[in-house]
Structures are given as C-alpha cells and as structure tokens.
Amino acid sequence: AEDGYQLWLRYAALPQAEATALSRQAGRVLLPPKAGAMAQAAADELERGIAGLSGRKPVRGSTWQGPAVVLALPGQWSALQLLDADLKALREGGYVLRTMTAGGQRVTVIGAASERGLLYGSFAWLRALQTGADVARLDQRAEPKFVWRMLNHWDNLDRTVERGYAGQSIWNWWELPDMRSTRYRDYARANASLGINGVVLNNVNSKPEVLASDWLPKVAAIAEELRPYGQKVFLSVRFSSPKELGGLPNSDPANPAVRAWWQAKVDEVYRLIPDFGGFLVKANSEGQPGPHDYGRTHAEGAAPMADALRPHGGLLVWRAFVYSEADATDRAKQAYQQFVPWDGQFASNVVVQVKNGAIDFQPREPFHPMFGAMPKTQLGMEFQITKEYLGFATHLAYLGPMYEEVLRADTHQPGGNGPATVARILDGSFYGDGRVTMMAGVANVGSERNWSGSHFDQANWYVFGRMAWDPELKSDAIAREWVQQTFSVPQPARESIVQMMQGSREAVVNYMTPLGLHHLMATSHHYGPGLWVSELARPEWNPVYYHRADKSGIGFDRSARGSQAVSQYAPAVAARWGQPATTEPELLLWFHHLPWDYKLPSGQALWPGLIAHYDLGVQQVAAMRARWAQLQGVIDPERFADVAARLKAQERDAQWWRDASIAYFQSVNGLPLPAGVKPPA
Ligand code: GCW
C-alpha cells in the first residue's frame, strides 16, 4: 500500500528494458578498501535503489572485473588515477557522476573528495536514474552552495511539536537512548538524499533540561543514528540555562561565572558527542530570556556560548526573529534595529539566522531588510517548511515558488560582486570571502506514517533541501523531480501534478492575504481567518494592527509617511516600495495604506480588485481539485483519496477565508459588493 512512508525514495521498478540495462550496468557495487560509515551508507543505498529499480540486488565487492558502480575517493583505485585531480578539487560534499571505460571495464563512477560526497553522489545518481538522465553517458559535477543545510525541529521534550501538523515528534525521548526507532535511520536517509547536514533536534522555545547531564545521552544516541548519514546534531538552548539549570544567581553574559558555566557545559557535551554541531538560540523574543534582560546587546549575549563552542569547532546560530511589545510602532522594523548597528561584532563561529521576511512566515512577504545590510556578519536563512500560516498540512501549497521568489529577489545592496540577490548574499558568492553560510528550514516532520501529515507536504521538505543545496535551482524543475520519484505515473499525469503544485502557493495568497495583506490568521492557532479585533493584549498580535482597514482605506503604511520601514532597504528598493505607483500589486498593502477606490494597475479599483483576488483564490483551488479528480485510477487509491479529501477541505476553507474577509471589510468600509466583478487575468 502507498502509505507514503518511503517518501521520494521509493525506487519503484523501471520499465523492463531499462531495468535489464540497469542490472547489466550496475550488477556490482565497488567500495574502496577502507570504507568508513558514510561510504557504507552510500553502498547500502545503492543496493536498495538498484534492487528496487532493476529488480536485482547488486553484489558488493572491491575487485575490478565487469561493469560496476564504483565509489571512488582520490588515490583509491589505480584505474581511476586520471580522475584524482578532479575529485580532490571538489568542495566538501561535492561529487562527480561519470560513466566511462577504465581498467578495461565499463564503469559508473561516483567520485568525491570525501565519503560525504560519495553519500550525496549515490543519492544523486539514483535520482538521475529515476528522472530520465541518460545514465549510459553520465557526466555530472555538483557541489553544495551552503556550508550548512539545516533542519530546525520545533519539537518539545514531551513530544508535542510547536507548529507541527504531522503527529508527535519523531524523537522518542522517553525510550532513548536504549531504544532506537528505525525511523531515525529512514529520516537520516531522506535528509542525506538532499544533502542536509545539520539537524536541530528541539524547539527554539527551549527548556534548560535539554542540557542536563542525564538528558545528553539521549542526544548522543540520536547523533549516533544520524552520523553515518552525514548529519550533525544541534540543540536549541535557553539563554537562562546558567541560572535555571546551573543554579547561578543570574545568566548575565558579562558574569565570569556564566562564561565558565557555558564552557564547562559545552566541554561536557563534546565529551559525549565529539562531532556535536552547536547551539541555536532564540533570545528576547516572544517572552524568551535574553541579553536585553541584563542591558546587553545580542552580540554580547552570544559571546559566552560562541567562545565555549569555538575550540571544538562548534557553531552558534543566533536567531534574528526578535520583537517586543515595548515598541509597537512597526514590528517589521525591530530585528533590523536590534542587529544592524552591531554588524561585525559577532564571533567567527556565529551565524545570525534571519527569517525570509520581517514579520513571520506569511504566504507572501517582501525579503527581510537585513539581507545585505550586515556585510560583516554571517547571516543565514530561516525558511519555514511546516506551513503554520498556509493551511497546515490540510491545504496543498508547494513552497518552491515562494522560496524561489525570496532567493531571487535583488536587494540592490552595495559592497559585493555581481547581482546582490538574497541567494548570492547568503551563499557567500556576493562577498566571495569564504564565510560560514547556512540555510535552515523549520521541519514539517513528525511520526505520522507519511512523515509530513500530507503527501504533498513531503515536497516541501524536498524542495527546501534541494534549494539549500543549490539556491539557483528552479522550483518547477524540483517539483518535476519530486513527482517523478514519488508517483509512478505516466508523463501527462506528472506534468498535471507539477502544474497544480506550481500554482498552489499563489492560490493561498489569493484566498488568505492578497495584495500584500498579512497576518490575518486567527489568534494563536493561525489556521482560519480572524481579521477582527482579538482578545490579545499585545497590539502586534492583533490582525487589525496589520491590515489597518477603516472607512477611508486599507493597508500598513511603511513608507516615509508612515512607519518608514522602507528606509531599511537599499535606496533603489526603498524608492520602489516607497511609492504605491511603483510597488508591485503583490506587495501593495504591505507598504501602503490606500483608499478603497485606489486604482490598481489592472484598472480596477482596490475594493473590487481585492474581492476579485479572493474569488480567484477559490477558483484556483476548485481547479486544483478538478485536476486531481482527473487522476483517479492513475494514482494509487490510497494517496488519491487522501489528497482528494484534503483538497475538498481546502476549497471549503478558501470560501470561508473569502467570505469572512469580505464580510469583515464591508463591516468597516460600508461599501456594497461591486456588481459583476471579474477576476484579474
Ligand atoms: O511563527 C511564530 C510562531 C511561534 C514560533 C515563533 C518563532 C517557535 O507562531 O510558534 O515559536 O514564530 O519563530 O520563534
């Protein structure tokens, strides 16, 4: 039964002719003589994949005879000497795939400078087999563009998951370290297939106990499970741990006892886990403790942990998702204000992790103004995979186009080489100075049989990983790869699914937050509409704070006339978004408060134009449903039915969003429903 457990690693049988050719070409897998754990893991996966695709399990060996798939490190196979220089030149994790004749044999070489590259290369070769590459004439070379490609789990120690929609946490803390679910390995395989090399195990809203001496062996057990698949474990730690766990009078970073506590704790962690990755910290945000509690800056707050980690090669990831009620003028401005003045003051092993936009994982946000604004600080990307604000695992929304939109955006920041896109700033190519680069995604993985709560949400894990490997990859190409590996269906059906995925995020934008509206989701759970005044005391947790709709108009004025948030962008961008006429309609109400009769570029007035977007969103979901219905009998019944049920709920919810939003806005603007509104083309 297709319950989705195997994700995109199903290795469904190829058509007969291709299967026969494959088993002829890949009947043997050759491992280098001194293969370590990652090379063994690579060979295991090759065996699994070749067996599934060709119907015949290959033989494992180390002698050069007959056609084979050869795992090659420099200097290990005399027949491949000529490749050595190429292999040595590869970046950590990079690989070459090449079909060639060597030592009198026709071989498929998976070559790399290190075992990590063999692991990634093996998965890449299996992907190539399934996505129509001509494997008889293969010649590929690839390297990861980011040093760190990370998942952030928001998993609590009691196995609940903050913003998780896929069941309990996969980490069974109670049973660890003695019992180890086989899921850990399968999870690690899925990550390795994408090149993910770091996993933060627990929620950024952290508990001090995660660092307790009797908890750490559990962490060490997970590290052991993930290690053969090239992933280091990280922990989210609580800033106030020295006081709360260590019993110190305070957690002030300037207190020598606090520094000493961090050092001793970190040393203890590394005694248990010699390749421990490091810490992730959420400080002074949403009630979490932090350096501001002691009048210190984020850079000062990060120093004790960074200093403790550095001798061990550990990384400190410090989040920039900070805002407090103290300044309620514009939440969107706070992170920039709290970080940019301290550019250059973070240690060399610190990455400041910035959400893609300045509010919070909305269906659409302009790129965060910090990107490119801190040239002397290593900034990392934080995307959310789990869709807290895009209908959870119920609504189908493929996030590839959203990630792509952010990564391609041009910040117009000065001080580097070539285009200043978000991707090039983050992956270091803009600065060209060998910085520690990172892309993180808030995981959507849980203990549901299909891992992500819905089948299509697996694609969001997949696309995140692929773009963390290479931010220049295109969302539609990645969707195509994913579909081909995940569903064994003929080409027209595959293309239909890809089309459905590609349009799905824009549909959500249309029925939830069109024209730059944002954060209109109901209080705390963030699922359905809640545009009206909520009970919450904090103004910036109230949707009315964001849409500012009244009799005269709608939108958040962030121009020079309003909160001046636009001034945080480079001058060219600030000029463009500072005027309604030059702001793209997609972001109009993010930056401007406009009268209801403001004329949109489409020629329509704002009020009917807004309504048209809501209508369009509903129609787009209906069209997705119709497309999916046509695949009945083509897709296996189990997955067909699950997706169909979710699309039905999504259509109902889209109507709910439309109707609730229009009714609410009517209640403040008193305008009638325009007659005969046509959706924009
Ligand atoms: O998106 C918001 C969420 C919180 C989350 C916070 C954060 C982990 O609603 O649940 O807390 O962001 O990113 O820290």
The three-state secondary structure class of 168 is: coil
The three-state secondary structure class of 417 is: coil
Could you give the strand order of the β-sheet that contains 59-61, starting from the edge strand earlier in sequence?
Answer: 59-61, 28-30, 68-72, 105-111, 95-102, 139-142
**Residue of minimum CA distance from atom 7 in ligand 1:** 321
Backbone φ and ψ of 547, nearest 5°: -90, -25
Is the pLDDT at 142 greater than 70, yes or no? yes
**pLDDT tens per residue, range 608-641:** 999 999 999 999 999 999 999 999 999 999 999 9
Class of domain 512-556+593-669: alpha beta
Instruction: Please answer whether residues 547 and 514 qualify as being in contact, where contact means their C-beta atoms are separated by less than 8 angstroms.
Output: no
The answer to whether 584 is a known catalytic residue is: no
The three-state DSSP-derived secondary structure of 218-255 is HHHHHHHHHHHHCCEEEEECCCCHHHHCCCCCCCCCCC
389 CA closest ligand 1 atom index: 1
Cα–Cα nearest to 452, from 499, 394, 521:
394
**pLDDT tens per residue, range 249-268:** 999 999 999 999 999 999 99
**Ligand 1 site, residue 282, Cβ cutoff 6 A:** yes
162 CA closest ligand 1 atom index: 10
Confidence of residue 681 (pLDDT cuts 50, 70, 90): very low
How many residues make up the chain in this entry? Answer: 681
Instruction: Please answer whether residues 70 and 36 qualify as being in contact, where contact means their C-beta atoms are separated by less than 8 angstroms.
Output: no
Strands (E), 326-447: 350-355, 379-384, 438-442
Confidence of residue 229 (pLDDT cuts 50, 70, 90): very high
Partners of residue 382 on adjacent β-strands = 355, 440
Could you tell me the CATH superfamily of domain 16-142?
Answer: Chitobiase/beta-hexosaminidase domain 2-like (3.30.379.10)
Q: What are the b/e assignments for 625-646, b being 16+ CB within 10 Å?
A: bebbeebeebbeeebbebbeeb
Q: What pLDDT was estimated at residue 679?
A: 46
Average pLDDT over residues 180-187: 98
- Which position among 45, 155, 388, 557 bears the catalytic label? 388
Whole-angstrom distance, CA of residue 211 vs CA of residue 533: 40
- Which position among 143, 360, 405, 615 bears the catalytic label? 360
Q: What is the mean pLDDT of the chain?
A: 96
- Compute the distance from residue 380 Cα to the ligand 1 centre, in Å: 17
Q: What pLDDT was estimated at residue 72?
A: 97
- Which position among 209, 268, 286, 659 bears the catalytic label? 286
Please state the pTM of the whole predicted model: 0.98
Q: What pLDDT was estimated at residue 21?
A: 92
Is the pLDDT at 651 greater than 60, yes or no? yes
Average pLDDT over residues 492-511: 98
Q: What pLDDT was estimated at residue 537?
A: 66
Residue with tokens 């500072």: 578
**pLDDT tens per residue, range 463-484:** 999 999 999 999 999 999 999 9
Name residue 678's amino acid: K
**pLDDT tens per residue, range 528-543:** 999 998 777 677 778 8
> Between vectors from CA 272 to CA 164 and to CA 215, what angle results, nearest 5°?
45
**pLDDT tens per residue, range 326-375:** 777 899 999 999 999 999 999 999 999 999 999 999 999 999 999 999 99
Best of 360, 384, 385, 536 for a ligand 1 pocket test (most atoms within 8 Å of beta carbon): 360
Average pLDDT over residues 143-167: 98
Q: Percent of the chain at pLDDT above 70? A: 99
- Compute the distance from residue 236 Cα to the ligand 1 centre, in Å: 13
H or E stretch covering 623 = helix 606-629
Q: What pLDDT was estimated at residue 558?
A: 98
The answer to whether 388 is a known catalytic residue is: yes
Average pLDDT over residues 137-160: 97
Q: What pLDDT was estimated at residue 352?
A: 98
The encoded tokens of residue 670 equal 């008193």
- Compute the distance from residue 48 Cα to the ligand 1 centre, in Å: 38
Average pLDDT over residues 25-37: 92
Q: What pLDDT was estimated at residue 345?
A: 98
**Ligand 1 site, residue 387, Cβ cutoff 6 A:** no
- Tell the CATH topology of 148-486: TIM Barrel (3.20.20)
Burial class (CB in 10 A: 0-12, 13-18, 19+), 145: buried
**pLDDT tens per residue, range 272-329:** 999 999 999 999 999 999 999 999 999 999 999 999 999 999 999 999 999 877 777 8
**Ligand 1 site, residue 361, Cβ cutoff 6 A:** yes
Q: What are the b/e assignments for 89-103, b being 16+ CB within 10 Å?
A: ebeebbbbbbbbebe
- Compute the distance from residue 204 Cα to the ligand 1 centre, in Å: 8
Domain ranges for the chain: 16-142, 148-486, 512-556+593-669
Confidence of residue 678 (pLDDT cuts 50, 70, 90): low
Partners of residue 421 on adjacent β-strands = 410
